């Protein structure tokens, strides 16, 4: 059996921290209420700010199975909920014919049972699980079409699906549902009403530094501070895609692999592809702009140290 649900906001924050997820109190509060009220958690924010990680950490911390439905354009019921195993049904029909079965109705009833059903993520999440209700991650919902959103309404409100040949399948105990969206389009209000909503923003410098300490413990203290300051400065630039926390962690990991102890202009230029994912952004930052940002953050750091003394 998995771990019990947290009993307070502090317990929720501690649960996340124990799995190296550094959350602010407002996120811990919303997550606690979501668990307490049995309502889906809808997380929205820019790509790479840690939305998906919340579901992963929750499953790990609670000892529950994580069932992930990765959304994409064209996602339908057969890929999200269930599909009949048609090849196996055909084999069963042929075997019945070979045995001389005359009752077609009996044969038809026999091939529309659970034995011939292929369960997709949502149906799997409604089934009982050994460690307790699983965590169902519906990731990047904004990539799907609106009709699929409408289909989710029954699931998110009643935790059940209707299979015409079998009837209603309802979860004995509802799964813990986490939905994420990168906000490439607006999600319908009807779906949001069934959830508790939270916008995950880019972290403050202090929180991002703590994340680096936990995720890349081998990164030099000075290097970590410069990486965070540089990334925070980049987010003020007019870029097509600002770097998320995931890119910050990747960049720190890459620089540790290169045995860097501090940021240098040449190193920044050579590794910008770890941090930025569009050539226009890289071309804009590489060279004089990167050097200027580095000078600025070092100047600010020196001024702050002088004030502290």
Euclidean distance between the first and the last CA atom of the chain, given in angstroms as a whole number = 54
Using alpha carbons, select from 262, 231, 261 the residue that is nearest to residue 247.
231
- What pLDDT digit, counting tens, does each position of 123-155 carry? 999 999 988 999 999 999 999 998 899 889 888
Residue 304's pLDDT band (cuts 50, 70, 90)? low
Identify the three-state secondary structure at position 213: helix
Question: What is the distance between the alpha carbons of residues 69 and 78, in angstroms, rounded to a whole number?
Answer: 12
Q: What is the pTM of this model?
A: 0.87
Structure tokens at 47: 């790509």
Tens-digit pLDDT profile for residues 262-291: 999 999 999 999 999 999 999 999 999 999
- For the ranges 112-116, 134-138, 265-269, 303-307, the lowest mean pLDDT is seen at 303-307
Buried-state track 155-171, b at ≥16 Cβ within 10 A, e below 16: bbeebebebeeeeebeb
Q: Tokens standing for 21?
A: 């997820």
Residues 226, 297 contacting (CB under 8 angstroms): yes
The Cα 156–Cα 145 span in angstroms is 17
Lowest mean pLDDT among 71-75, 95-99, 145-149: 95-99
The residue ranking higher by pLDDT, 140 or 304, is: 140
Query: pLDDT confidence of 249, banded at 50, 70, 90?
Result: very high
């Amino acid at each position: 059996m998995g771990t019990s649900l947290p009993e307070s906001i502090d317990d929720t924050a501690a649960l996340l921290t124990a799995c190296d997820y550094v959350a602010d109190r407002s996120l811990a509060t919303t997550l606690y209420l979501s668990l307490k009220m049995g309502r889906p958690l809808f997380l929205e924010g820019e790509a790479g700010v840690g939305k998906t990680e919340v579901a992963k950490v929750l499953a790990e911390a609670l000892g529950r199975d994580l069932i992930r439905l990765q959304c994409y354009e064209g996602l339908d019921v057969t890929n999200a909920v269930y599909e009949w195993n048609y090849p196996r049904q055909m084999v069963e029909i042929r075997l019945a014919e070979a045995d001389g079965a005359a009752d077609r109705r009996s044969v038809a009833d026999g091939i529309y049972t659970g034995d011939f059903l292929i369960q997709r993520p949502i149906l799997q999440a409604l089934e009982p699980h050994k460690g307790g209700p699983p965590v169902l991650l519906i990731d990047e919902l904004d990539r799907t079409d609106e009709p699929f959103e409408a289909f989710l309404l029954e699931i998110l409100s009643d935790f059940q699906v209707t299979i015409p040949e079998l009837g209603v399948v309802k979860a004995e105990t509802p799964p813990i549902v986490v939905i994420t969206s990168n906000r490439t389009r607006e999600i319908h209000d009807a779906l949001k009403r069934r959830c508790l909503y939270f916008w995950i923003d880019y972290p403050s410098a202090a929180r991002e530094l703590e994340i680096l300490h936990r995720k890349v413990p081998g990164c030099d203290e000075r290097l970590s501070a410069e990486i965070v300051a540089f990334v925070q400065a980049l987010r003020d630039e007019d870029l097509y895609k600002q770097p998320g926390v995931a890119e910050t962690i990747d960049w720190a990991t890459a620089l540790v692999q290169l045995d860097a102890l501090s940021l240098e202009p040449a190193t920044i230029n050579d590794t910008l592809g770890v941090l930025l994912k569009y050539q226009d952004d890289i071309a804009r930052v590489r060279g004089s702009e990167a050097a200027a940002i580095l000078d600025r953050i070092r100047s600010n750091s020196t001024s702050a140290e002088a004030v502290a003394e």
